[in-house]
Amino acid sequence: MPKDISTDIVTVTPETVAQWLVEGEVVLVDVRETREYDLEHIAGALLLPLSSFEAEVFPVLTDKPVVLHCAIGKRSAAAARMLLKAGHRRVVHMEGGLTAWKAAGLPVEEEIAEPAPAEAATPIYLCPTPGAVLRDEFLTPNGITTGTLAHAIGVTETSIARLIAGDLGVDAELSLRLARYFSTAADFWLHVQSDHDIEHARHAVGEQLRAEIRPRAA
């Protein structure tokens, strides 16, 4: 157990500090920077970086002596001098810092690398585009070409090609033209378009909406 500290810097070995920590006799303070601490640190060590170290307002956490350490001992020795000058007496400096601690075979906690993000699965869409329905259920089975359909319903063949490719949606007028030619309900093609759009939107923003919007209570 460490004794009361004088105005001189008291230096101890990592092995001594490790024993004090096991016995719960000291508070260990790491004066390295945040990134250094995140990469590896001694379990239970508090972080007070030297770059923002203010001896005059150094927190008195307990009545236990404070052990300071850094990477090799230089920063912690400077911090110890600052504390002693400010009137703190129960201050100890760990010789050799974290480098000496590891050389003594003592354990550290290391940063756990974030796992690489898994490749996002391709969503499975159950609602096809109007163009896919047009191609697979109306044109191909009946041997109708895009040119024939375009001429019959009064639109350009490019429009039909874009519709089949999924680059063009169905509006009310196109729905009426297709419905007239294929003898479907007037709103059939609009419903196909709407079902497809809603499914895509659900995949894109469904989770966000569930997090942001709370259903209104009855």
CA distance 134 to 147: 14
| Alpha helix positions (H), the chain | 14-23, 34-39, 74-85, 97-103, 130-133, 140-142, 146-153, 157-165, 172-182, 188-212
Provide the CA 208 distance to its chain's centre, in angstroms. 15
3-state DSSP assignment of residue 138 = helix
- Amino acid in the structure at residue 49: P
The confidence score (pLDDT) of residue 136 equals 93
Distance linking the first and last C-alpha atoms of the chain: 66
The confidence score (pLDDT) of residue 163 equals 95
Q: Phi/psi of residue 69, each to 5°?
A: -150, 160
Show pLDDT as tens, one digit a residue, over the chain (218 residues). Answer: 555 555 578 899 999 999 999 999 998 999 998 889 988 999 989 888 888 777 776 766 567 888 999 999 999 988 888 888 888 878 899 999 999 999 999 999 987 655 555 555 566 667 889 999 999 999 999 999 999 999 999 999 999 999 999 999 999 999 999 999 999 999 999 999 998 998 888 878 878 888 888 888 76
The confidence score (pLDDT) of residue 82 equals 87
- Global confidence as pTM: 0.50
Q: Token pair of 6, please?
A: 């004088």
Domains, the chain, with CATH or none: 10-110 (3.40.250.10), 130-212 (1.10.260.40)
On the 0-12 / 13-18 / 19+ scale of CB atoms within 10 A, 150 is middle
CA distance 151 to 144: 11
3-state DSSP assignment of residue 12 = strand
Q: Token pair of 177, please?
A: 């033209």
